[in-house]
Every structure is written in structure tokens, then in C-alpha cells.
Amino acid sequence: MNTDLGLLLNSKGEDRSEFKLFNVPQQEANLDRQNNHLVKLRRILEDAQWKKHDVIVICDRAETFTNFYSKNSFLDMIFQAFEHNMHLMVCDYQDCYDIKFPLSAKLDYISNFDDITFIVLFSSIYGYALKRLSEVTNDMSVGAFLSKITERKCISTFPLVCKHRNYQEDNIVKSSNSIRHQKKNKIVALVPFRNAERLYRNVVNLF
């Protein structure tokens, strides 16, 4: 795995590398076929690999990537499918009053890639942070950062929504299909909590 983008940054730009995301043992991925979002994600990775895209995973917190998704064999699946051209960028939203990140310096680095597939992951704490993010217009904001990338690169994005025990599957399918047809080439979010449809729509509209 390429770790050039693996530096874990919180809102103050501090090093969060103690999470050691890249030292997780590579085990046989145990993909549950009933977890439809994981099946879709694996297909996305395979499609990106076939297109020779670099994949950039943008995550709101390191815990989102390690704790939640590792329970679903997500981490193992990514390690096995994309060892050499998977890039990870973690933005820590714990301080929701300061949604500004030292990300603009990464823009020139990312511009070296020819084609990119983005996977954007948000945890359940992101609801309030999203409201704050939508109010930020500074070039250092995550929204502005991603918008600049979409203007300059050929990017494949995919609508994904996690199932939630209190969320009807029919609503997820309707939301996913609607955005897939109406919001092409947009950054979209994989959101593992019950406000999926509302947050999903808002995140897409941001970019």
C-alpha cells in the first residue's frame, strides 16, 4: 500500500500515525454476501483496478476506518485488493468548530495521478460536522479541496450506502438509484448510520 497519503491528520494538523493503520495483519477476507454494500465496494475496487485507477479513501476519522469497517472485513478486503495503489487520507472531525484542514498542500501531489476513484467514508458523528462544512468557503476546507480535484481530474465515483438495522432497504435502494442517475461524477459518501438518505443527498450536493 502506498503510504504517501497515509499521514493521519486531525484538525490541528497533528500526526495521528499511532493508529498504525498499515500494520494490520493481512488475513483472508471473509466477505459476507448478505452485506450488500461490501459486495458493491469490492466490485468498485475491481472496476478501478481494471481501469488502472488510483484509489483514494478519504475518511473522517481513523476510528471509522479501523473500528467499524474492520469488523466487516473491510480493511482486509482493501489490503488484498489494492496493496500498491490505494491511498488513505484521514481528516479528524472531532473538533467540529474548526472544519479547516491542511489539505491544500496535497492537491499538487494528487494532480500527478491520471485517473482516480474516490471512496469517501463518514462516521455517525459527521452529521453536525457536515452542517459546519457546508458553511465553510475557505480554500483549506475539505469541500473546496475535493471540488478542486474534481475540476482537474478524471474521477470515477460510486453511490454507496451502508445498511442500518433501523433503516429500510427500499429507501436505500431508491436513494442510491436516484443519485446514480441524477448526480453523475460527484463525490458521494458511504454512511453507516440511520440518517443515510438525508446525509447522502447533502454530501453529494456539497460537491
pLDDT in tens, 39-93: 555 666 666 667 776 666 655 555 544 544 444 444 455 555 455 556 555 544 4
Asked if residue 15 lies in contact with residue 7, where contact means CB atoms within 8 angstroms, the answer is yes
Write the pLDDT tens digit of every residue in 142-168.
444 444 444 444 443 333 333 333 333
* Side chain identity, residue 49: Q
Nearest-angstrom CA–CA distance, 56 and 197 = 23
Nearest-angstrom CA–CA distance, 65 and 89 = 10
Write the pLDDT tens digit of every residue in 3-29.
333 333 333 343 433 333 333 333 333
Q: Which alpha helices (DSSP H) does 74-195 contain, by range? A: 74-81, 107-110, 126-135, 142-152, 169-182
* Annotated domain spans of the chain: 8-206
* Side chain identity, residue 187: I
Asked if residue 40 lies in contact with residue 159, where contact means CB atoms within 8 angstroms, the answer is no
The full DSSP string for 54-83 is: EEEEEES-HHIIIIIHHTTTHHHHHHHH-S
Q: What burial class does residue 43 get, using C-beta atoms within 10 Å of its C-beta: 0-12 exposed, 13-18 middle, 19+ buried?
A: exposed
Task: Give the largest Cα separation in the chain, rounded.
Answer: 43
Write the pLDDT tens digit of every residue in 99-134.
344 444 455 555 566 666 656 554 444 444 444 444
